[in-house]
Structure 1
Amino acid sequence: MHGTIPAQPQRRPIPASSGLPLVLRLALRELRGGLKGFGIFLACIALGVAAIAGVSSLSRSLTDGIGREGRRILGGDMAFSLLQREASQAERAFLASKGEANTIATMRAMAVAGEKGSALVELKAVDAAYPRVGTLETDPPFAPADLFAARDGAFGAAADPALLARLDLKVGDRVTVGGATVELRASLVSEPDKIASGIGFGPRLLVSQEALQATGLVQPGSLVRWTYRLTLPPALSTEEGLAQVEAEVGRALPEAGWNVRTRLNADPRFARNIERFTQFLTLVGLTALLVGGVGVANAVRGFVDRKRASIATLKSLGAPGGQVVMLYLTQVMMIAAVGIGIGLLVGAALPFVVTGLFGHLLPIPIQPPLAWAELGVALLYGVLTALVFALAPLGRAHDVQVSGLFRDQIDPERRWPRKRYLAALAVSVAALVGLAVLAAYDRRIALMFVAAAAGSFVLLRLVATGIMAVARRLPRPRRTAPRLALSNIHRPGALTPSLVLSLGLGITLLVTLALIDSNLTRQLQQTLPERAPSFFFLDIPNAQADAFEDFLRTQRADAEIQRVPMMRGRLVSLGGVPVSEVKAQEDVSWVLEGDRGITYAKAPPEGTEVVEGEWWPEDYRGKPLVSFDRKIAEGLGLKIGDEIVVNVLGRNIAATIANLRHVEWRSMGINFVMVFSPNAFAGAPHTHLATVTYPDGSDAATDARILRSAAQAYPMVTSVRVKDALEAVNDVVSQLVMAIRGASSIALVASLLVLAGALAAGHRARLYDAVVLKTLGATRARLLSAYALEYGLLGLATAVFGLLAGTLAAYFIITRVMNLGFSLDLSGAVLASGLAVLVAVGLGLLGTWRILSQKPALYLRNL
């Protein structure tokens, strides 16, 4: 059997003219045997492609919905908004000259239901033309004219069902808003312009403009947003016409201070949030695809090992190494095409499934399209990922020796593929990186993701090399099981690199998610600092500010009251550059969007520290100065001495930055991005903002009493209970956490598949190990204990790396991306990594048990 090996026949390459058809023909012939060993390969590719295709297609459906429904969402073709003041007669007349105009007013107010208490509401006052676009749905149904008409001493209203539940009211009951009595004639089912009107802390209360005026809440300086909507004639409703009207209004009324929106960008905040969340989910899908790529590499390596005899046969018949590689690359890519096809089908179907199951919950109606461009991008991701992770193991098939026909090579020599395959690999990696960056909404984040992914692969390879080096240098144990486990870790062809890579990615991801989850939970549960206010009081009329403060002191003498003047202003330019052209950092761009609260002060506000520049004297009378939050100023590219222009009540006010402050926003105190010198707004109408803090806190009964008393004595003051506001925010954040957990589970499933694939890839070598050791007298129990010890040692070493890497990743995401404080709580992370190690050991032993049941004779023949 082991006689002299005959001389190999001279190889004669197959003619090039028949190369491609022959390769394809041989690939199809070999695939007739089925896809055995490629189950995990298919699952990894399909999972990643489905995630990317599904997320992109759903995002396309939502953005198309916004574009298609823009006119209904906005309530017209254009909307011009002002805060704290109504448009003048001249301004309204100019808008009316361009098309049909109607008016909406929104503000926060208190609805008082007698002994049943009071509640904060988002008051929305509409005119007789509402809704000009879309349909208002109520229960019971009402025509708007009948719904809002005044009769029997009360104005009609439609209320959000949440308000009815909160105050234990029913349709037909009455509440008091300011100085007006309002009858709740219907519960609100749907308002066509809900998104454009904004989402607040309280339930919606829909009333007429006449009812709003009767409340007495509209005073100089009151925080009322007036929105004037235009429905343009067909000739001006085109994209060019919208731009023309906007330009004409800007030229005719340059200092009006409008916030202008058109049906083409009906809700830019909602669209931007879709883009951001799509970016996150796409990165999760790409993570799953890259993690799955390790599974692809493991599957291809196992495939090549199984095909060594076939490869040797082909080469002995004259097939060149390059043609052999092309043959098996064709097979692998054909199998990958099956997985990509499955992923594309699932991804394309996802928007239709979501619409069918949850369409009634979405804020806009969507009609899912087949998003061919997005599916094409997902297809490219799948093809490039399969190519990147298959090239290296397939490239080694070029140098498989023909002697494999006569003697099995259990631990074949590991070597780098030839230069041509390394070059192809480099091109494929560059293409995958380029696609990830070019297809991203935020290319900076995409580049950071690419760098983190590359760093993870390199670090895990170094960790595997280090573990093998340490195991090689450790003294050999006397007992058989530890000695065998230690040698298995560092021997040629060991599973260590693939197991460390597969398990390391999974544990790192688990630890990262566990720490993000724990930090977000801590933020939700411990948002209130030790000295957080109990109430915010808004819209305190300037003339009643002192009296209201005295009233608050009568409620509890030990209350700590902080009161500041407050106005709203919109930034117009920074350093001479219009805000529309300012390139702000992502985390501070919100400052440029819409109106901001502003104040003036003689001394630095409590809880702030001047870190650069100097505060102005108390009797300062010069050119208006402003103090800026340092972090936000840096994000906007501002420095001391720069000039900013802010529009307040229709006037542009220029001010010079005199100093920068550090503001602790999480203190829940009264803080502003911009604090002006007192002379900047001399004589301007404004209201006051106050907070009330109790040294020992307060209970629900006390809070309800104070809210009821304040609403009855000062109906124009809006009261916000801090705990209620935080609960509203926490509900949104909790939903975000659940979405992150659900999306990230895709990557976790991919990690589990890859781990199983890594173990399966080493099946052949482990099979021969077991055969030889059993022949030499090793018992099944001893082999199982050796393998368990090996997997356990690798798992523990990898878990240490996963804990460190996951902690660093979570710290970066929490502090730099989410801008929150980081707290190191490793209890959940350690539990998650421990479970991952147990899963790895369990999967390894499960595969080993099957190996140990094999009969030795069949395999001993070829050794």
Structure 2
Amino acid sequence: MQSSLSSSIDRMGQYLGALGVIALLMGGIGVAMIVRTFMAQKLDTLAILNCLGASSKTLFKVYLLQSMLMGLAGSLLGVGLGFALTFLLPPKMEGLINLKLEPVFYWIPALQSLLLGCTTTLLFCLWPLIRAVRTRPLRLFRRNLDEEEKQSTRWEGWLSTLTLGLGLAAMICWQAESIKRGLIFLSALLISAGVLALASLFFLKLLKALPQSGSIARRYGMSNLRRPNNQATSIITCLGMGIMLILTVRLVQMDMLAMLNKNTELSPPNYFFIDIQNDQKEIFTEVVDQIAPEAEQTLTPLVRSRLQSIDGKLTANWQYKDRKREEWFINREFVLTYMAGPPPKDNEVIKGEWWDETRAKNAEVSLEEDAARRLNAKIGSELTVDIQGIPVTATVTSIRKVNWRNMRTNFYMIYSPGALEGAPLTYVATVNVPDSKELELQHAIVEALPNITALSTRDIVDTVESTVTRLTTLVDFMSGFAIAAGLFILSGSIASTKFRRLRESAILKILGARRKVVSSILGIEYATLGVISALVGIALAQGLSWAVMKYMIKSDWHVQPVTMAWAFSFAVLITVATGILSSLDVIRDKPLKTLRESEN
């Protein structure tokens, strides 16, 4: 159980880093939209400067500098907010590591964050800047932004895309601290974004195929999703990814807690008693029988060792494929045991045969399946371990599948009695005692045998549940940035089409439409975006959580309809709220004001 939990926590840590990168990239898309909106407001200025002799190269440098200064300001603000959060998060972290944490400002991570923020700004602002600075003086007499944006050449588009792709790959590999893991993550990110984009296009096409509604608000709201430069696909993709990430973590957390509860229902032992010496076995048994004669108890011999060789291949000369991941396992201290009877509970022999009474006198060993894979061992392999300087060699005769979550003593290597005869050993005991006698038994054992360590499975389960919950809180916090980035993109998209929306709302108001109608049009548009984002994100979260539970955590997966319903409602609500708040001037402004500003 400890091995499985540790690997799961490590993966959660990697997931936290991945969420940070995803939020950064989604924020980059928002930067591109904001820069595009900013440059759309400067097109007249660009055309005038072009008339006065300013080249596209000069204009590009000027507005690139402005964009980078805004990116630097945003990055500095992010570093400041990040440091401020260190005063809020330590209480969550202290519960995980049992250490007192004091907020300290570190310059290197701060500078790295600034570099990432500025690099992201640079990569994502290139394309909108290149398109904008090609504005010609004709702009002053003919205002057609859609045609102007098509003036950029194909090679400029390919160059911007190539620069963006290489820059993102370099940033992700740097964050992952491995080119291989970085490229795998980038591939997974591109596949997820591709699936989300295709799903959003499918739903938008489906909406287009639906019959026209008789309601003017519904008809206009739906048509807004198909307007030029509406960014609906980008919004759905980013919001859907944020929903997918945060819901996946929540579903995995619920399944992990269900797994723990299921294991506790199997009546695991209440206590583990560690470091029982050979001459203390009888005293230990007498104390248990005296306090709780009805208690179920087992004594398991333990022998500590280190791996020396496999089939003559010394561990000192081991060829690692991934040294960081493999070295700890090869060089760790292995705790062995031996038994003459059948395999222990929740140990299934999947290859080879378990020894019988006759073969128990031979030097044989049974390996857990994951250990066999890591050691590249098979039936018939010769395994040599070092026990206090003495090499002990045994033949691998079986491979087992072990349920590490049963809260019982489990081993990578189980030997036949003949292999470890005469080896120095201690014992670990498991005791299943009524709840009312737990403390009495613990005090009696510690008083009679002070060297023994008592571990309560109840405390272990509580610690695991607390750890999972606290980690999930941190992951939810990071996932919230992904959601916020999606909403930022939604706001940027609204800003990029703000002038067109203002003109259209002014015309509708002149034709007799009230604010309620305009609000309904916008509400239907944003609600549709929220519904599609939620449906796609929830569907992908279901698939991803199933894959995590089946292939990474290797446990049961459950459908959580209540959680999905809450996620759907929340996604639609925040999308509509963000959209309406970003469009208040479209709803409130008088037609005359809008038309005057448009003329100016």
Over residues 560-605 of structure 1, what are the superposed CA-to-partner deviations in whole Å (9 max), with x where a residue is unaligned?
4443322222223445131684537777765445423211123322
Between 1:443-452 and 1:475-484, the stretch displaced more is: 443-452
Q: 2:490·2:579 contact (CA, 8 Å) conserved in 1?
A: no
2:204 counterpart residue number = 468
Over residues 32-75 of structure 1, what are the superposed CA-to-partner deviations in whole Å (9 max), with x where a residue is unaligned?
xxxxxxxxxxxxxxxxxxxxxxxxxxxxxxxxxxxxxxxxxxxx
Q: 1:352·1:368 contact (CA, 8 Å) conserved in 2?
A: no
Q: 1:584·1:636 contact (CA, 8 Å) conserved in 2?
A: no
Task: In structure 2, give the amino acid aligned to 1:769.
Answer: E
Q: 2:491·2:582 contact (CA, 8 Å) conserved in 1?
A: no
Residues 849/724 of structure 1: CA separation in 2 closer, same or farther (3 Å cut)? closer
1:666 counterpart residue number = 405
Task: In structure 1, give the amino acid aligned to 2:431.
Answer: V
| Offset at residue 619 of structure 1 (A) | 1.7
Residues 420/642 of structure 1: CA separation in 2 closer, same or farther (3 Å cut)? farther
TM-score (norm. length: structure 2):
0.84
Between 1:541-550 and 1:596-605, the stretch displaced more is: 541-550
TM-score (norm. length: structure 1):
0.60
- Structure 1, unaligned stretches of length 5 or more? 1-199, 201-269
2:156 counterpart residue number = 420
Separation in 1 of the partners of 2:395 and 2:422?
20
2:315 counterpart residue number = 578
Task: In structure 2, give the amino acid aligned to 1:845.
Answer: I
Identify the structure with the greater helix proportion: 2
- SS in structure 2 opposite 1:784? helix
Separation in 2 of the partners of 1:274 and 1:798?
29
Separation in 2 of the partners of 1:324 and 1:783?
38
Separation in 2 of the partners of 1:354 and 1:719?
32
1:703 counterpart residue number = 438
Residues 726/300 of structure 1: CA separation in 2 closer, same or farther (3 Å cut)? same
- SS in structure 1 opposite 2:225? helix
| Offset at residue 610 of structure 1 (A) | 0.9
1:785 aligns with 2:520: yes
- For 1:337, which of 63, 67, 72 is the aligned residue? 72
- For 1:607, which of 339, 346, 349 is the aligned residue? 346
1:616 aligns with 2:362: no
1:758 aligns with 2:493: yes
Q: 1:279·1:441 contact (CA, 8 Å) conserved in 2?
A: no
Task: Give the percent of matched residue pairs that are identical in Structure 1 and Structure 2.
Answer: 29
Over residues 214-240 of structure 1, what are the superposed CA-to-partner deviations in whole Å (9 max), with x where a residue is unaligned?
xxxxxxxxxxxxxxxxxxxxxxxxxxx
2:455 counterpart residue number = 720
1:497 counterpart residue number = 233
1:637 aligns with 2:376: yes
Instruction: Spell out the pairing of 1:351-370 with structure 2 (5 A cutoff).
Output: none
Separation in 1 of the partners of 2:152 and 2:564?
38
Q: 2:529·2:575 contact (CA, 8 Å) conserved in 1?
A: no
Separation in 1 of the partners of 2:74 and 2:374?
44
Residues 638/302 of structure 1: CA separation in 2 closer, same or farther (3 Å cut)? farther
1:597 aligns with 2:335: yes
| Offset at residue 803 of structure 1 (A) | 0.7
Separation in 2 of the partners of 1:819 and 1:432?
32
Q: 1:291·1:505 contact (CA, 8 Å) conserved in 2?
A: no
- SS in structure 2 opposite 1:478? coil
Q: 1:571·1:592 contact (CA, 8 Å) conserved in 2?
A: yes
| Offset at residue 692 of structure 1 (A) | 3.0
Separation in 2 of the partners of 1:273 and 1:520?
10
Identify the structure with the greater strand proportion: 1
Separation in 2 of the partners of 1:798 and 1:275?
30
C-alpha RMSD of matched pairs (Å): 4.0
Q: 1:534·1:691 contact (CA, 8 Å) conserved in 2?
A: yes
Q: 2:246·2:479 contact (CA, 8 Å) conserved in 1?
A: no
Higher-Rg member (1/2): 1
Separation in 2 of the partners of 1:858 and 1:638?
79
Larger relative contact order (Cα-Cα within 8 Å, sequence gap ≥ 6): 2
Residues 580/443 of structure 1: CA separation in 2 closer, same or farther (3 Å cut)? farther
Separation in 1 of the partners of 2:175 and 2:518?
50
Task: In structure 2, give the amino acid aligned to 1:837.
Answer: V
- For 1:512, which of 238, 245, 248 is the aligned residue? 248
Task: In structure 2, give the amino acid aligned to 1:583.
Answer: Y
Q: 1:297·1:393 contact (CA, 8 Å) conserved in 2?
A: yes
Task: In structure 2, give the amino acid aligned to 1:671.
Answer: N
- For 2:503, which of 759, 764, 768 is the aligned residue? 768
- Structure 2, unaligned stretches of length 5 or more? none
- For 1:385, which of 120, 124, 129 is the aligned residue? 120
| Offset at residue 412 of structure 1 (A) | 5.2
Over residues 811-834 of structure 1, what are the superposed CA-to-partner deviations in whole Å (9 max), with x where a residue is unaligned?
455555566654442433431342
Task: In structure 2, give the amino acid aligned to 1:507.
Answer: I
- For 1:842, which of 577, 593, 596 is the aligned residue? 577
Q: 2:257·2:465 contact (CA, 8 Å) conserved in 1?
A: no
Separation in 1 of the partners of 2:136 and 2:206?
32
1:479 counterpart residue number = 215
Task: In structure 1, give the amino acid aligned to 2:132.
Answer: A
Instruction: Spell out the pairing of 1:70-219 with structure 2 (5 A cutoff).
Output: none
| Offset at residue 613 of structure 1 (A) | 2.0
Separation in 2 of the partners of 1:283 and 1:604?
41
Instruction: Spell out the pairing of 1:397-416 with structure 2 (5 A cutoff).
Output: 397=132, 400=135, 402-409=137-144, 415=150
| Offset at residue 790 of structure 1 (A) | 1.5
Instruction: Spell out the pairing of 1:295-310 with structure 2 (5 A cutoff).
Output: 295-310=30-45
Residues 793/740 of structure 1: CA separation in 2 closer, same or farther (3 Å cut)? closer
| Offset at residue 792 of structure 1 (A) | 1.0
- SS in structure 2 opposite 1:665? coil
Q: 2:247·2:541 contact (CA, 8 Å) conserved in 1?
A: yes
Q: 2:348·2:401 contact (CA, 8 Å) conserved in 1?
A: yes
1:285 counterpart residue number = 20
> How many residue pairs end up in the alignment?
588
Separation in 1 of the partners of 2:375 and 2:56?
59
Separation in 1 of the partners of 2:202 and 2:122?
28
